[in-house]
Chain A
Amino acid sequence: MTDIIKVDRLCKKFRLKKNAAGLKGLFHPEYKTVTAVDRLSFNIKEGERVAFIGPNGAGKSTTIKMLSSILHPTSGTAEVMGLIPWENRRRLAYHIGTVFGQRSQLWYNLPVQDSFGLIGKIYGLDDIEFRRRLSKLVRLFEIRDLLGHPTRSLSLGQRMRCEIVASLIHRPQILFLDEPTIGLDVTAKEIIRNLVKKQALEENTTLLLTSHDTDDMEKVCDRVIIINKGRLIFDDSIHALKESYLNKKYIEVTDDSGAKIKTVVDTKTTPVKKALDELVQKYHITDITVENPPMEEIIKEIYRRD
């Protein structure tokens, strides 16, 4: 398989104005430079599903914006399908799809179906091709009942399904998903993850998904890239990450007196089931939460081992 995305020492710095009080700030503004992405290099092969993980402010969205041709880098190079994104916007546009979890590409007041129609026109699809494609995506993402509703009336989970369909109408080979599960409840997150994976497998779409939720990468991707403060700190398979860093589960139980008991289980030595059985025997449990280690813990662990 060929490399569909190539990133070489990509760097993005932002110049921000410092807010100085009084006239000094007006006549002699001071600036500080913030490095969002710092000499980032990686390659992605066709059909790979890659999670781009990191805490808030790690540079995930900035990298996606550069690769999807929204931003110009300060230095370094990148190629997406053999094209330099920021120099070949129009040509690249037909090959990539983007979903930004905190932005909508649907028209707020229009019924979802009309928004899809406009997107079809943007990409110059003819009516027959558009209808065939939409019909397939509507079935795959189970949104038939939503088509007649205006975007403003959709729940966040419903809207996100429609956003992903909107980004796939023109049959892109690469899909950039920036925090697609942000703000969603557990059920909606699960639905989105399953649908995204199903679509990617069915059409061999290359996925680059950013998130700070480790569950997103476990459920959808086969490879993970972790960045922190703009730098790459881990690039390997999900399996390798699980083996090395996701071998702990954080369990929190609440007993009938309302007290919360927290425990960390090393899944290499103790199966989660065994740990839960022990807790059930010991306490009158009213609630249980089992979570992966938070992103910050994983990053700390990576640095510690380095």
Chain B
Amino acid sequence: MTASSWLKVLDETIGICDAHGRPDLASALRRRRVRLLDPHLRVVVVGEAKQGKSQLVNALVNAPVCPVGDDVPPTAPTVVQHAASPAAFLVARPSEPGAPTTRTPVPVDRVARESAARAGLLRVEVGVPRGLLAGGLSFVDTPPVGEGGGARGDETLAALADADAVVVVSDATAELSPAALDLVRRVAASCPAVLCVLTKIDLVPGWRDVLERNRSLLASAGLAAPQFPVSATLRLRAADTGDRALNAESGFPALLCHLQREVLARRDQLARHVVATSVAAVLEPLVVRARADLERPRRAAPAATRLEEAQRQLDELRRRSTRCHQILADEMADLASDMDYDLRERTRTVLREVDRILDDADPLVVWETVEDWLGRNLSEVAEASATWLAERCRWIAEKAAAVLPVPGAEAGAGTVSALGVAPDELSSVDMPRIERFTVAQKTFIGLKSSYGGVLMFGLVTSLAGLPLINPVSLGAGAVFAGKSVRDESRSRLQRRQALAKAAVQRHVDDFFLRFGKDCRDAARHVHRALRDHFTAVAEEVQERVVESARLAREAATAEALDRERRTRELERLLTLRRRASALAVAGHGKPLEITA
């Protein structure tokens, strides 16, 4: 695997961090990227107070560059790296965030004292000409952890974030404390190359027991950090006297050899480890969030359900609308037939009454009254029918509205009232042409009839000798005349009555025809108005439902697309994570820190 493989994974992760709106993670990774591409390799030394961290760094580079002793522990990290000639700088914390830092040069032999004395330092930079460091190795001595001071902890954390390898220091006078063990655990989570160094082994006769106990402590905590027992005192003395055996005894050659072999020579593998762990750490929250995003729509009302609901509403609306119209049509047909019958029935009653009157009365005498009565009764009939029609229409409107449960449907009843049925002004009944029975006619008929009587009885009495014209025949003639006149006048009366009846009959028929037509028209109008009203109301609702269905459909589509996108995104994250973890085991097929 080449260097570009981890770089690609790293760059891709940075891109993803940016895309997910996590510039904090992206900038942390960018810092790491800069560090990984930096030829310098930082070995950060951490540990609790008074464990010999600074002395360890001093012994590593063989120069008193870090403040040691029993003074106040340092508050700023000291970075020791290669330089052609010895140089040291105190980097002060900027007075305000964002301001440039100030670097104060100090003599190398005084740097330890100066850095211990000064407060408000960001870091101390020391350059010494050492073959060990020339390869790009640098050591960082950090303020002690677990001292409670927030600022110190921050410095150490910042130093750890940039670490390529971490050395956790504990001294041989006691086994690893729970706090130190926890420190190893936390460091191992972010940095693949962790080693534990046991210092001060020159002072403690039983350091091998402590080493063994530490080993089992680390093992039971599931930590695979190699341990290196060292003595800084021996190392420094060996450097003074040039005693190789003593140097070997100090344990430093083994530690340096490990650093050279495992840290310096296997930079690429280390980089892959660093990328693997940091990418995994960065991706974890993103994966968790992506998963949560995917889960969320399942809990909320999804667009698909909303679409289904809209469709169901639409179907229901259509079904009800149809039913409403059907009811309207049926009821209106019923209404027409009922109305016809009802009107006929009412007019019949009127007719029968008129017939009864005209049976007994002479139209000549009562016509005025009859006409008056008839007009009044027909108005009543019309009024009653109109009222009944309106009632019935309202009832129908309500019945139909009940089927259509949309707002505004019941307003149809109002439409009916507004329409109403007003009967036309009735024309007066045509007066039948009735000839009067005049006195001349009576006289003529009387004379005509009396002629027969006179002649008949005159002849009979002439037998008896009487003259043709005699009182008897005259009397008989008079009787005959009277009878004829009476008969004639009765038959005339009957004819008049028949005529009057026929006239009334015609009038009522006219009324029936016209009013019936009016009523049917009114009913049809109502029908039409109601139909229009219901259609309009239903359409309005339907439009709304259709609109919401459209929106729901669009949302569902968008949601499906979004979901697909998220799934793809999660897939991408998971793939990237797999690739990152593949980096960690690639090549050797085993984690790095087990070696040693």
Real complex partners, A and B? Answer: no
Which B positions have Cβ atoms within 8 angstroms of A?
Answer: none
Interface residues of A (CB under 8 A from B): none
